Amino acid sequence: MSTSALLFPHRSAAGRARLASAVLALALCVSCSGPNSTAQSGGTGGEHASTGGGSADGGGQQDGQGGSAAGSGGMPAGGSTSSGGSSAAGSSAGGSGPDTGGSASGGATGQGGTPTGGVHDSGGFDTGGATTGGALSNGGAGTGGAATGGTATGGVATGGTATGGAATGGGSTGGDPNTPCDFGSLTAYDDDNGSATYYDPEKEVNCSYPVNGSNVEHVYTGDGAFTVAMGPSEYGGSAICGACIEVTRDDTATVTVTATDQCPGCQPGHIDLSRAAFLEIGTITEGYLGTNNGGAFGLLSWRYVPCPVQGNIIIALKDPPNDGWNEFMVENTRLPVAKLEAKWESTWVTGTRQTYNYFNVGEQLWFPVRIRVTSVAGDVVDGLIMSGKAEQELDGQFPACK
């Protein structure tokens, strides 16, 4: 049987002859065509899949979308930008948080494409090499120079090089020492309606301040020996930590102390002084002062006053070596702290204050990070904090008052 009969068994002999001729002519036409007349392949088979995007340093895996190849010859029509990978959970002392990896600047790019991903900015620090200055705090002035070649956006130069140094943020240092302090909603017992006992502070205090012997570090009242434990109503989940209190007996003897601990059994208005502080206004034999609030001797009042601090506000890291997770404690403040915030890219995230006086700002963290603290009076001080160092200063102190 002929080849055409095998291919077209249902056709007549004449029909098979015509179809065979047409196929032969088409084959001859294709074989005669030059290299420039070859049919171009469509873009339907040119999809470029990017399975990369894994972050460095033990980080998480991210899915880059890759670029879809389209157009003549299957050429890619531009690469997709990876949005950063999710971080793998890591552990740290005192809490768990993300590993240091899991963040990508830019992303996977398809062949022939241009990545559109930007530089990851952590707290005003441009990892692309523009400037290390961050956003200025309220009332503060940056000491850094202007970025040349770029536009400053919230303290980050985009495309320029900083000249004259990095911006150091702002601080509220200064103020009028004759202006009365604003202690917000804190309640004083300054009408002979307070009371006090004494105790010997342990090696650890609820506010987590370091203790050296019988003295608490970063406490200037009595060189760290004049401290006080507050009852639950005043302690406020550690909100009172670092506040200073002036205690007066019979309108004559006074002592100023710093709140560093909690007294679970103390009633409202009753405070538990360190032994050294108590001996400034009473005797061990008396033991319990404040006859209007359950005491056996004397009239006792106490009120909030500014702390006699020295230098700038200090930020302590709970786990200094961990640059993927941390918590922050504020020390050495003139007034009590109402709020701590950390800056992620262009957003300020408010920390949650723990009962042990550290602020938790969430599981995502990149160093250096800009930290901003606000006093009960609304004063703001900020600064750039690095990983690896246990205690670091912000760029100022809350303003003076009386």
With helix as H, strand as E and coil as C, how does 319-350 read?
CCCCCCCCEEEEECCCCCEEEEEEEECCEEEE
3-state DSSP helix/strand/coil % of the chain, to nearest 5: 15, 30, 60
Biggest distance spanned by C-alpha atoms of the chain: 131
Same domain as 131, residue 150: yes
- How does pLDDT run across 342-368, given as a tens digit for each residue? 998 889 999 999 999 999 998 777 899
Beta bridge partners of residue 92, listed in sequence order: 95
Mean pLDDT confidence for 69-98: 34
Residue 82 lies in a domain: no
Residue 235 has pLDDT above 60, yes or no: yes
> What pTM was estimated for this model as a whole?
0.59
For residue 390, the model assigns a pLDDT of 94
Of 305, 339, 366, the domain-final residue: 305
Write out the residue range of the structural domain in which residue 376 sits: 122-180+312-402
Of 305, 338, 373, the domain-final residue: 305
Same domain as 254, residue 169: no
Mean pLDDT confidence for 183-210: 94
- pLDDT tier for residue 168 given thresholds of 50, 70 and 90: very low
Residue 66 has pLDDT above 50, yes or no: no
Same domain as 344, residue 300: no
Residue 146 lies in a domain: yes
Same domain as 339, residue 248: no
Question: What residue type is 319 in one-letter code?
Answer: D
- CA distance from start to end of the chain: 115
Which residue matches tokens 């550290």? 358
Same domain as 212, residue 287: yes
What's 235's domain CATH number? Answer: 2.40.40.10
Of 259, 275, 305, the domain-final residue: 305
For residue 173, the model assigns a pLDDT of 56
CB 78 within 8 A of CB 114: yes
Q: What percent of the chain has pLDDT over 70?
A: 56
Q: Which of 116, 183, 129, 195 is nearest to 156 (CA)?
A: 129
Same domain as 400, residue 357: yes
CB 191 within 8 A of CB 183: no
Q: Which of 388, 352, 341 is nearest to 368 (CA)?
A: 388
Residue 116 has pLDDT above 80, yes or no: no
Residue 61 lies in a domain: no
Cβ neighbours around 164 below 10 Å, total: 11
Helix residue spans in 113-187 (DSSP H): none
CB 269 within 8 A of CB 263: no
Q: How many domains does the chain have?
A: 2
Same domain as 294, residue 334: no
